[in-house]
Structure 1
């Protein structure tokens, strides 16, 4: 240790004191300055170094070095005279140079340390593992990623042979031969698969001093690649399913911009990819609001929504659901069902059912059309009655379908293989044949083991009512002494209770037939069933008239719903039948203009005289004349409006004698 006396505790002396203290190879005998406030004196006190204001008492043979940092030019000769021969005196100028050199050196070391820290930070923050060895194969560096991938403690690997950490490592060979190895695969003892690149470390002089490797865990990458392959296969399968689906499918993103449609979508809507892809969700809507937008706004699915889409305003039913991934809305997917195709299939099914029932000469509950609560309740009661041998009493206005209910009950009962005899009690001839007949069995006898339907039972005479009462009470007929088995179904559109009070209907008979009353609702109380009834009637009437009417427009249906229908379903069938007769052969849809509005609005028109062909020609003449007037004699516009060729229009004008 060198003993030092520092004279001068100003800025320069303080710097020397700090630098020499940090060096750790020097001791200070004293720090001296005439100024008691000099900063070096306070620093010396903190370091437990003696301080003084006079240097003379501290100069002795034990002092190795005297440093003059006082800045006093006259002090150096005195120090040289007073020192021991073995003591070295360093003048102030040299001391200043030393201070500067030491400070520069310290700054350089600090910069180097900072650069090393940055390099170490980068080294340890790299995702790839990095390992280096010296020429003898001992590990010289090992970053955090290398420790993570190899699953070893980096503090325990420095200085160890690389083969103890990675047995199959080829770094020693790379260090020996100086040849790089790029993108080599290697499986570690832990089972982790890595891809590594190895390079020799060569000095500027060409000396090989080791090697290093940069490697990456590819286990996750391989798993991701497999998952991506699986996802691509699933995507290809989904695309194949979507492309082959008979239902139209459309997909939009979270902003409602079209992403995908399938061929069925183009077939149903008439719109192609360029009409939809990249365009807003409303691009295909002809009438109504975009259900895609509604789903994107609410994040909830919408099902069974009716819309009109495409250039031809095709009627469709839409089901749309949101696409949510990790609780994030990514878009929505819609499935469009062609209502025309559905209706066509339903009509084909109805045709098949109608044909089967016509072959069986019977009617069933399938012919009672409607989804309203009232008609469903009546059907449920009738089905219940069909299963038990009880007398059924059908009540309802004229035209509601009481006879249809009677047939359906018989068809579903155990008597379905026996006769169903309908007696129109309003007919005197039918009433007379009910219990007696001169040359054949009475109608009641014909119904034995089957069903006897007494339509408008209130029209029976009191004598006939008594015979019926005996039949219900004792199972006997006037013409036979033995017991008979038959079922009675009665109906009325009149208030029998009033007839009973007036003495026109037997009270006991009333209670006998009223054991299972079923009320059939009038059509005005179930107008929601009208569209379904219309579809059912079209199947029947198209077959009868050889037509191909596809359906009714919304306005036509609305007009029919607004009518009171005093004649109920029977009147509705008559109106539809009359409408179809007067429609042109080229017209495939019933519009409001086709309906006999004077009839359904309550005004009964006078029946015209003449044959059907004369009436049709009269109607054609009137229609063509009105259309020509509306288009100011423009025949091309008139032909387009009437959906006929211009040649046909000229022929009609000449044939019908229409004045232009």
Structure 2
């Protein structure tokens, strides 16, 4: 029910009258079980039970308002409420007290509203005195309301623009300030009643979080651009799908590998393109598929890794990374080539890096001789007994000297003893010495070789030639580093390093009882095997060059050269006398040489004459004695390279990779003609 009434109270509906109206409305609503609403002109209807809303309508004397009554007994209730609004609002002292209590309750409510809004409020009156400072303002400024309310704003906040607003009556909207640790947007407006200034208010909105978020968004944008550049720079093809199977991104490498244009890929659904493919299976199961090999429509074979994109347990899509296997194969070949070279160089480095200058007198470039020298170099760093094994003429004494002169004993003596050259009856006296009068002809005390080698090294060459009775005495000095002179009783201690050498099969002599087993094990602590010259033929050209220079220096001759036929003949000769035989032949040839070039006919005939008269391979196959595998291998590699003139072609002819042929050619010092 709606009723129009005219307000007759001369001061309109001010706060105390509004409180009386609300009090009356609540009384009648409870009594008649109705609800009252009030409407003025264009204002929306508001409950008549709200003081703040009623005051906000600014109803003055003679204004017309509408009272809307909803409920059960609307007729009586509307009549009573209307009559009350049109009255002059006469009230007694009790009514005043109740009205004041109601106003006080609503004032508290207003304060609560101000303190609970999200923005900071700072209000001054026309005298620039602070009259309102809510809780959000306290947080932003870091000050309590008790410290600021009632004080002149210029004393508390000298930078505030509110005094300016008071004077100019003009608003300043949306200006940014930095207050303490906060960034705020401030709206400052005057409080006008009519055209009279009653104060000014500033509303502060903390945008610190928004500023931080904007920076984070900028960083995310930069990060996205970086990732985009990375994805476009990689050589692997990348394809990204959403959870429905639609392709949302592919990089440049993907279009290059598959041969498809970007516009023909983006937006396509994998369900239609490849419903039974790996990407569809990964979307369906959520399990990755790795190392899958597929042939694309352009016949390019790729290997693919497909992984699901899972966030919080949900499959949000999939990412496929493909690589052209052809490119991988090329890279693998290059890697194998580099790896083979690195392995070769590493092997050579290991063989040579620890060799000191004492080993410079041992000439050779073969792996076998470097292996032997590497063991000798390690042996030189200790005082343990060394047993050098090898055929006659292989350089056992040179190795013994190198061990001594590269050891900590290099300042001490190096004593050589050829056990085979000394008669057994005199060997004990030579090794251990004798006292004066020990036997007929012993006119004075003689020091033995072991005493002479004290603080140094003794080299016992041809150790396999000594008899068993002498082996017992030698065992004691090897084991205990002590002995007695012949004819003497005094035990002599020595500090000596023992290096023994033999060209005999000591293991066989131990079996036959000709060599003591205990002495064998005492001597064979660090065995070093020296290969015969026929097993290190790649060293022959180096040895020949070294010997030519050495003999030229001895004979004061000009530099001598050797032609290919002569060096080939030396290369394929069996060399039963090893390096000693080679040195003998070179000395003889150089002495008889009439010019400065060694030719085939300058060499002894037995060096280059072959009964079979065939090729190197035929000569090798017709020999009664077997060559080593490396010698056959060298002949085969050399023949293949002579015929095909490239590592690739030779490798195909032999059923080997070009890396293997290249490695073997370097090993045997074979060049391409």
Q: TM-score range by the shorter chain?
A: 0.3 to 0.5
Q: What TM-score results when the alignment is normalised by the length of structure 1? A: 0.36
Q: TM-score, normalised by structure 2?
A: 0.36
